[in-house]
Amino acid sequence: MRRALAALLLLALPAAAPVGAEERRSGFADMTPATQAMQRDDAANPGMLWALEGEALWLAPVGRAAKACAACHGDAAASMRGVAARYPAMDDATGQAVDLAGRIALCQVRHQQADPAPRESQPALALAAYVGLQSRGLPITPAEDSRMATLRAAGEALYRERRGQLDLSCAQCHDDNAGRRLAGSVIPQGHPTGYPIYRLEWQAVGSLQRRLRGCMTGVRSEPYAYGAPEYIAIEAFLMGRAAGMAVETPAVRP
């Protein structure tokens, strides 16, 4: 009887369990040794060029306020440590969630009285890479905020929603088929541990939103515009899913 009960309990377990903490795997683990070495070595990691440019921008006075980021925040190594690991986060002034790039842009408008660099522009990516670098090696730690929980749920719904002419959801590849090969490429679990990343395919640094747009176009769906709240929600969900994994910014990916 007890054995039968145990068997029943086993059967009752969900068939498609979510990716567990033990089985989580950064895309880094599936890269060739040469690409892994490129990420590990700051002198070889092309993303470090963006981070270096970001450091120069951090120190440069800009805007009508003629203030540098450093004028308020000081040494980024201290003040920005761990910051990227907890974004997206709520902006209390607007009540909207923002990603790290959005937070930097808000800071430029409010405090430097500057026109923010457009999303995905070189200076925007450079500053995000520099701020992200200050969290490298630290665990992803999403904010414990009920509004963020709501956002994460919305992001999960988008992640599980089938879309496009190919009618595929993110989850169908990155949960159900991670580790298998789509043509020649191993499908990663989709943990956003290293953004902005230097992608060999792009020959440049790009944001998570650029990466999400690539997948959306791949299933022949209409991507959202850069900065759309849908991307922030998906990022919030993915960062929650990756909680505890180490930040790799600026990561290198094929």
Partner 1 sequence: MIRAVLLALILAAPARAEEALPRPAGIAPGDPARGRVIVADRQRGLCLLCHAGPFPEERFQGNLAPNLAGAGSRWTEGQLRLRLVDGRRLNPATIMPSYGRTEGLHHVGRVWQGRTILGPQEIEDVVAYLTTLKE
Q: Which residues bind partner 1 (CB under 8 A)?
A: 161-168, 172-173, 176-177, 180-185, 187, 216-217, 220-223
User: Cα(first)–Cα(last) distance of the chain, in Å?
Assistant: 53
Q: Which is nearer to partner 1, 171 or 245 (CB)?
A: 171
| Residue 241 Cα distances to 48, 65, 88, 170, 181, angstroms | 26, 39, 13, 13, 22
Specify which residues 62 forms β-bridges with. 67
Q: CA–CA separation, 128 vs 51, rounded Å?
A: 8
Q: CA–CA separation, 192 vs 101, rounded Å?
A: 14
Residue 98 · residue 92 · CB < 8 Å: no
Q: Which is nearer to partner 1, 147 or 220 (CB)?
A: 220
Q: CA–CA separation, 184 vs 161, rounded Å?
A: 25
The CB density around residue 241, as the number of other CB atoms within 10 Å, is 23
Q: Which is nearer to partner 1, 65 or 215 (CB)?
A: 215
215 has catalytic annotation = yes
Q: CA–CA separation, 156 vs 205, rounded Å?
A: 26
Query: Least distance (Å) from partner 1 to the CB of residue 187?
Result: 8
Q: Which is nearer to partner 1, 15 or 93 (CB)?
A: 15
Query: Least distance (Å) from partner 1 to the CB of residue 176?
Result: 8
Dihedral (CA of 26, 200, 207, 216) sign: negative
Query: Least distance (Å) from partner 1 to the CB of residue 221?
Result: 4
Query: Least distance (Å) from partner 1 to the CB of residue 177?
Result: 5
Q: Which helix (H) or strand (E) holds 154?
A: helix 146-160
Q: Which is nearer to partner 1, 83 or 173 (CB)?
A: 173
> Could you give the residue numbers annotated as active site?
215
